Amino acid sequence: MNEAVLSIYQQRAGEFRLQKETFNRRLLLNSLLRLVFFILSAWFLYAAFRERFSGNALLYSIIGFIIFLYWVSRAGILKQKIGFAEKLILINENEITVLKGGTSCFEDGENTKSVPGFATDLNVLGKHSLYHQLNRTGSISGKKQLAKSITEPLLDPQQIIDYQACVKELSGKTAFRQNLQAHTLLLKEETSLSQMITGLPDGAGSGLEKSPWKQLAWIWPITGVLIITYAVWIHAYAYILIFTLLGLLVLSPALRQVSQLYHHISRKGYLFTQYAACFQLICEQEILHPALREKQQQIAEAAEAFRKLSRLMGVFDLRLSLLGFFVNGLFLSDLLCARAYLQWNRKYQPLFDKWFDTLGEIEMLNSLACFHQNHPGFIFPEVADGAPAINATGLGHPLMDARKAVTNDFSIGTVARLHLVTGSNMSGKSTFLRSVGLNMLLAQMGAPVFAVKFTFSPVRLLTSFHHIDSLEESTSYFYAELKCLQSIIHALDEQAPALVLLDEVMRGTNSADKHDGTALLIKKLLQKNCLTLIATHDTELGILAEQYPGLVENYCFESEVTATGLHFDFTRKAGIAQSRNATYLMKQMGIV
């Protein structure tokens, strides 16, 4: 646990708690003022009726009501500030919990559609997974981008280098990252985002852009202003009522189309405001790296676009109030709002995919930046071109406590391309394979890795760790494994290099068959453009290092039985494993 980083989160959490208390006190005062001015307004209105509007009581009532409305609007702003402060408190308290060894309160990716292969084998999604460790996203777009980044690691060296630079820059912008995260956590998207991205149904509202609605949209409001002016001038207010009713009658043929457009964006005003805040926050942030600046430019219009939509929604919502009766009749406001939304949608809806993908990408980079801040001992790896190779010093499992994790040096591809890793039960073979795989995932996301030094070439990740019988598909454990191995071999027919991680191959058959099958598989893998790590209990496979010198190397994890019990050092060593512990463990557990 890094005390310096922990103190930053503790300090920020304390500051936001104080802010929340201040806003709560202001909200309480606001409630009292609202009550006072509402009572005053009501009293003066009563006085106006009592005095038959002979004095200034009506004026005072109107002034009191306006002040009441001001404090109502201020209450809404204060509630938003309280909600924002609560999210910032949550964010910092979560980081404190994580740094102390607890579990993050944010989504773990369990609901993300899992893909076969390394996503399952390497504990990429789900509780205590890599996704869970990294996730600091709040929007649907952010969660999707993080899931995509973690299940489809980058292969372009320059893009990885750019992402590394972005993560480094963002890691120093704690306030910006947390403010953006707080805004995205306040989003209540549900099905709204997919509906917005999909856009309007074909032909929706198209009739409103034709005559006579096109002419009425500017003629009627002007006429309404003239009617109101004339009625006030001659004190004949019946004209206003008559014109209002006439306007509602004129508008009635368009109500179905107007309602269709309204329901497409109704009850989303708060969402639009939050999106505007997210995009504006990103655009106003001072950015140095060109890759991040390019993302700012991609969403330059988004903040103002969503502010416009939020304001339009506020006017459109008048149709639900008593005031809407007059506004619609006098000015055809429903028609004006519907046409304005059609214009807005035509201009901005084609940009939605780019906007939300960019927002999600920045959220994903924020998650990696937070990971970097929380793990200052992790290093950014060096990306190499050329033949596939990995060289690491002090490599550890990135999901383990760095203070307790055992690290190992590791190099593959510079000499041998296939490592056989033997060892007894629980000695660390599978954990080592996962350490390699997870660090490669982090490296190809542009994130720091758990190592003292790490150089790699981008590769595809192909794995086969554990399989289950499928009663629905009448698939045995062994056949399920064969299907997985088949998919790996087919994937290796492509020229792009790969890293293949296999844990205890062919465990579903007898020892002789397992040995022969694994040996043949190794020969096949040596013909492919890949690096391979195979963890196995079959020490007899070690002879392949003699048959394929310079291509196959043996490494092992040993255990030791002493007077005090069974001991593991979890340290990778050269050679073939000599120790066994199955019989010892069975005796210790009283099985035999």
- Residue-level pLDDT at 580: 64
At 506, phi and psi to the nearest 5?
A: 60, 35
pLDDT-derived band at 509 (thresholds 50, 70, 90) equals low
As given in the structure block, the two tokens for residue 316 are 């459109």
357 in the same domain as 393: no
As given in the structure block, the two tokens for residue 343 are 């214009």
- Residue-level pLDDT at 565: 67
Mean pLDDT, residues 19-30 taken together: 96
DSSP 8-state secondary structure symbol assigned to residue 293: H
Mean pLDDT, residues 367-372 taken together: 96
| Bridge partners for 271 per DSSP | none
440 in the same domain as 331: no
Of 68, 84, 102, the residue that ends a domain is 102
pLDDT-derived band at 262 (thresholds 50, 70, 90) equals confident
CA angle 498/502/504 to nearest 5° reads: 170
480 in the same domain as 428: yes
Q: Residue 322, exposed/middle/buried by CB under 10 A (0-12, 13-18, 19+)?
A: exposed
At 463, phi and psi to the nearest 5?
A: -135, 155
Number of CB atoms found within 10 A of residue 63's CB: 15
In the predicted structure, residue 79 carries a pLDDT above the cut 90: yes
pLDDT-derived band at 467 (thresholds 50, 70, 90) equals low
306 in the same domain as 335: yes
* Residue 377 falls inside a structural domain: no
Of 102, 130, 152, the residue that ends a domain is 102
539 in the same domain as 504: yes
As given in the structure block, the two tokens for residue 194 are 């997919």
Can you tell me the distance from the alpha carbon of 294 to that of 343, in angstroms, rounded to the nearest whole number? Answer: 27
Mean pLDDT, residues 479-483 taken together: 80
* Residue 391 falls inside a structural domain: yes
The boundaries of the domain holding residue 13 are 1-102
3-state DSSP call for residue 387?
coil
Q: Say if residues 139 and 189 touch (Cβ distance below 8 Å).
A: yes
CATH code (residue 565) = 3.40.50.300
- Residue-level pLDDT at 189: 64
In the predicted structure, residue 589 carries a pLDDT above the cut 80: no
Can you tell me the distance from the alpha carbon of 112 to that of 124, in angstroms, rounded to the nearest whole number? Answer: 11
* Residue 182 falls inside a structural domain: no
Note the pLDDT tens digit of each residue in 38-55: 999 999 888 888 887 677
346 in the same domain as 198: yes
Residues 6+ apart with CB under 8 A from 357: 141, 145
Using the CB atoms, write b or e for 357-381: b if 16+ within 10 Å: bbbbbbbbbbbbbbbbbbbeebbbb
As given in the structure block, the two tokens for residue 66 are 């306006």
Can you tell me the distance from the alpha carbon of 371 to that of 148, in angstroms, rounded to the nearest whole number? Answer: 17
Least confident of 140-154, 197-211, 468-482: 468-482
* Residue 229 falls inside a structural domain: yes
At 387, phi and psi to the nearest 5?
A: -60, 150
Number of CB atoms found within 10 A of residue 22's CB: 14
- Residue-level pLDDT at 530: 93
Mean pLDDT, residues 568-573 taken together: 85
In the predicted structure, residue 372 carries a pLDDT above the cut 90: yes
pLDDT-derived band at 476 (thresholds 50, 70, 90) equals low
* Residue 497 falls inside a structural domain: yes
Mean pLDDT, residues 270-293 taken together: 90
In the predicted structure, residue 472 carries a pLDDT above the cut 50: no
Q: In the chain, what percentage of residues exceed pLDDT 90? A: 48
Q: Say if residues 374 and 136 touch (Cβ distance below 8 Å).
A: no
* Winning range, highest mean pLDDT, from 230-239, 375-384, 469-478: 375-384
pLDDT-derived band at 33 (thresholds 50, 70, 90) equals very high
3-state DSSP call for residue 392?
strand
In the predicted structure, residue 366 carries a pLDDT above the cut 80: yes
One-letter amino acid for residue 447 of the chain:
A
3-state DSSP call for residue 106?
coil
In the predicted structure, residue 585 carries a pLDDT above the cut 90: no
* Residue 142 falls inside a structural domain: no
pTM: 0.87
pLDDT-derived band at 586 (thresholds 50, 70, 90) equals low
* Ramachandran bin of 504, using left for φ above 0, alpha for ψ from -120 to 50, beta for the remaining angles: left
* Winning range, highest mean pLDDT, from 6-15, 59-68, 120-129: 6-15
Residue indicated by tokens 């963890």 = 535
Q: Please give the tally of structural domains in the chain.
A: 3
Residues 6+ apart with CB under 8 A from 405: 396, 397, 450
578 in the same domain as 481: yes
* Residue 351 falls inside a structural domain: yes
353 in the same domain as 247: yes
pLDDT-derived band at 588 (thresholds 50, 70, 90) equals low
283 in the same domain as 225: yes
- Residue-level pLDDT at 504: 85
Mean pLDDT, residues 83-101 taken together: 94
- Residue-level pLDDT at 115: 64
In the predicted structure, residue 65 carries a pLDDT above the cut 80: yes
Note the pLDDT tens digit of each residue in 416-450: 999 999 987 787 888 999 999 999 999 999 999 99
H or E element at residue 331: helix 322-331
Of 69, 102, 135, the residue that ends a domain is 102
- Residue-level pLDDT at 43: 93
In the predicted structure, residue 474 carries a pLDDT above the cut 50: no
Q: Residue 304, exposed/middle/buried by CB under 10 A (0-12, 13-18, 19+)?
A: middle
* Winning range, highest mean pLDDT, from 106-115, 398-407, 503-512: 398-407
- Residue-level pLDDT at 469: 41
As given in the structure block, the two tokens for residue 202 are 């074909």
Give the chain's mean pLDDT: 87
243 in the same domain as 213: yes
In the predicted structure, residue 502 carries a pLDDT above the cut 90: yes
* Residue 132 falls inside a structural domain: no
Least confident of 16-20, 337-341, 566-570: 566-570
386 in the same domain as 355: no
197 in the same domain as 334: yes
